[in-house]
A and B are shown apart, each in its own frame.
Chain A
């Protein structure tokens, strides 16, 4: 299993030369991308390098508190990312809070489920298993929740007249907002479904490729990949559904009124 070919820094420098191609292209065609390219490259090297050392230290200690601490930091950053992807976020801390709580619950449950039943490391919170697993589930759940909430608020703003017509006729809020909520959950789940349908045909999933390069038997690597995809599908469904239902309740009130005043007037859109 550990029959893998180690890379040293010289190997990486050689590979990084390929970036000169990007740079040359940008200069020759006047794309103006040189600056972004240099910054992005440096950021990637620094961020990944830092993560590598943090993970090595974390794996060496196997402390439950450090593991939980790292998981919380990951979730906080993912919450910020959810907020950045909203065109019209909810006012106050609601978008961040709703996103983080749904994401943490869904990704946490799915990860613990997997640690407790399929993987069973010793101890069960062993960060070498818990952190990568949580990272993969979290990243996808985050995308699902961000898409779901963004679609929900955009549809509710778009369909406001139809929704208010239903409310004025005495329809309860879950009925009046059913169409936008359905659209939101659908758009949250589509990326996962598409990824599952295309897996192995269009491209080999990154994690599976990594395991194969590290010397794992392809059948075993595929088993791991399937496990991860099932976890991602479950986590995304749970997280997106709870976030959208929470959003529907926040966009209405106990008198079943539509409350567009709970959306920020001017949104911002971060990197998608």
Chain B
């Protein structure tokens, strides 16, 4: 279970929240309302007051990288640091099943990053994030650049993960998607996170 205690990103009221294993909490709200800041704060990417615990273990009790391997943030704009796709994975060959679910061919590991389309980047960033089985995924508009068919593939992968016990915190602007994937919905409005 992911527990958030009085976590307060810049400009937001303190957030206290429990998200159970296998839950998909969808967070909606107007642009610029702090949804990204909230996800980043949970992943411990920006300094801010408050506490976060995973299965009773406080993040301050472990190193930052250790926390982020368990509670993984997937940015809306993915970043890439090497020339080829496979170099961004610890073991490209280990993810055959997930890669197939996302509709990515085996040779996509050799693709140059500079030639990836928006949708390919987004799916590969998602694939990269599920490596080493994180316990929580913090998803920032994970399908915004995908067409309906590939979006369904991404949703299918995330649904499989959720059923296996992964916790999802999912930010989306798409009300239909929210209705499809959410087990619980909240709204971030004027710095206040409330049930929707």
Contacts and interface: CB of A to CB of B under 8 A. Distances in A.
A183 to B, nearest CB: 12
Contact of B45 (A162, A167, A179): A167
A171 B65 contact: yes
Interface of B: 43-47, 63-66, 68-69, 72-75, 77-81, 125, 128-129, 131-132
Interface in A111-164: 159-164
B79 A165 contact: yes
A170 B65 contact: yes
Given A165-B78, A169-B129, A179-B81, A255 B64 contact: yes
Nearest to A179: B81
Contact of A170 (B46, B72, B74, B81): B72
B65 A172 contact: yes
A253 interface: yes
A134 to B, nearest CB: 40
B74 to A, nearest CB: 8
A166 interface: yes
Nearest to B63: A256
Contacts of B64: 167, 254-257
A162 B131 CA distance: 17
Contact of B79 (A162, A253, A255, A256): A162
A159 B80 CA distance: 9
A255 B69 CA distance: 13
A259 B65 CA distance: 15
A162 B81 contact: yes
A180 to B, nearest CB: 10
Contact of A165 (B63, B69, B80): B80
Contacts of B68: 167-170
Interface in A243-268: 253-259
Contacts of A170: 65-66, 68-69, 72, 132
Contacts of B78: 161, 165
Nearest to A159: B81
Given A167-B45, A168-B73, A171-B65, 16 more contacts: A159-B81, A164-B79, A165-B75, A165-B81, A165-B125, A168-B129, A169-B131, A170-B65, A170-B66, A170-B68, A170-B69, A172-B63, A255-B44, A255-B64, A256-B63, A256-B64
Interface residues on chain A, size class = 20 to 34
A166 B65 CA distance: 10
B57 to A, nearest CB: 15
Contacts of A167: 45, 64-65, 68
B44, B74, B81 — most chain A CB neighbours (10 Å): B81
Nearest to A252: B64
Given A255-B64, A256-B64, A257-B64, A168 B45 contact: yes
A164 B75 contact: yes
B27 to A, nearest CB: 18
30 contacts: A159-B81, A161-B75, A161-B77, A161-B79, A162-B79, A162-B80, A162-B81, A165-B75, A165-B80, A165-B125, A167-B45, A168-B43, A168-B68, A168-B72, A168-B73, A168-B74, A169-B68, A169-B72, A170-B66, A170-B69, A170-B72, A179-B81, A255-B44, A255-B47, A255-B63, A257-B44, A257-B45, A257-B47, A258-B45, A259-B47
A170, A171, A179, A258 — most chain B CB neighbours (10 Å): A170
Given A169-B129, A170-B69, A256-B65, A164 B81 contact: no
Contacts of A168: 43, 45, 68, 72-75, 129
Contacts of B46: 257
A188 B47 CA distance: 32
Contacts of B81: 159, 162-163, 165-166, 179
Contacts of B66: 170
Contacts of B69: 169-170
